[in-house]
Chains A and B, each alone.
Chain A
Amino acid sequence: NAGVTQTPKFQVLKTGQSMTLQCAQDMNHNSMYWYRQDPGMGLRLIYYSASEGTTDKGEVPNGYNVSRLNKREFSLRLESAAPSQTSVYFCASTVLGAPYEQYFGPGTRLTVT
C-alpha cells in the first residue's frame, strides 16, 4: 500500500511555462484534494474532487486546473506559471467514514522564477 503518491518531488519553472502535478492514491478513497502550503498561511485548498467525475473550486483556484482522471488519480495543471505560484503542493485523499481522516502525499516543491 503506497498511500498517496505525488510526482515530481521538486520542479523549477520559468514564468509562463506550464506543467502538471500528478497524484495517485491506492486506498479506494472517493474524495481527493489539492492544497498549497505557504509560510505562515497554513494549507489553502486549491481544488477538490468529492467523487470520480466531479471537481470543485477551493479557496485559491485561480491559475490552476484539475482533472479527476479516474478514482485513483487527480492531477493539477498550471497553464502559465507565475512567481506567486511558488509553493509546496500537497495532494490528499479522504476515507468516506468517521473520522474522515485525510491522507497526504509527500508534497511537490515548486519554484517559479
Chain B
Amino acid sequence: GEDVEQSLFLSVREGDSSVINCTYTDSSSTYLYWYKQEPGAGLQLLTYIFSNMDMKQDQRLTVLLNKKDKHLSLRIADTQTGDSAIYFCAAPLYNFNKFYFGSGTKLNVKP
C-alpha cells in the first residue's frame, strides 16, 4: 500500500502563513488531496491537485506538488482562527478503490 506521512502539529499566529507538508510513496497517484476536519466533525475535501500540475491556487490556499521528491504541501495565506483544524493529506490507489490518509496535522492558530 501507500505510505502517507505528515507532521502532527503546527502552531502559527493569526495573519501569518501556514505551510503543512506531506510525503507519499506511490508515484502513480493521479490525484492528491487535502481534507480538513473541524472538531467533532467528519472530513471535508479542501482542495486537490492533479498529478500533472506543480501548483494549484484557490483563494488563500496554494498547493505545491514536487513529484520527483513525492512531496505535497498546503500553504494557507493570512491564517485565521477559523482555520484551526486537522488537515489530512490523502492519496488514492491507482483504481480509486482505496484512499490512504496521513496522520493529520493539527493546526493551531493563535490570536
Contact = CB atoms under 8 A, between A and B. Distances in A.
Interface stretch (A67-75, A79-87, A104-112): A104-112
Interface in B67-108: 88, 90, 92, 96-104
A103 to B, nearest CB: 8
Contacts, number: 62
Contacts of A4: 42
A17 interface: no
Interface in A38-54: 40-45, 48, 50
Interface residues of A, number: 28
Contacts of A50: 97
Contacts of A104: 42-44
Interface of A: 4, 31, 33, 35, 40-45, 48, 50, 56, 58-59, 90, 92, 94, 96, 98-102, 104-107
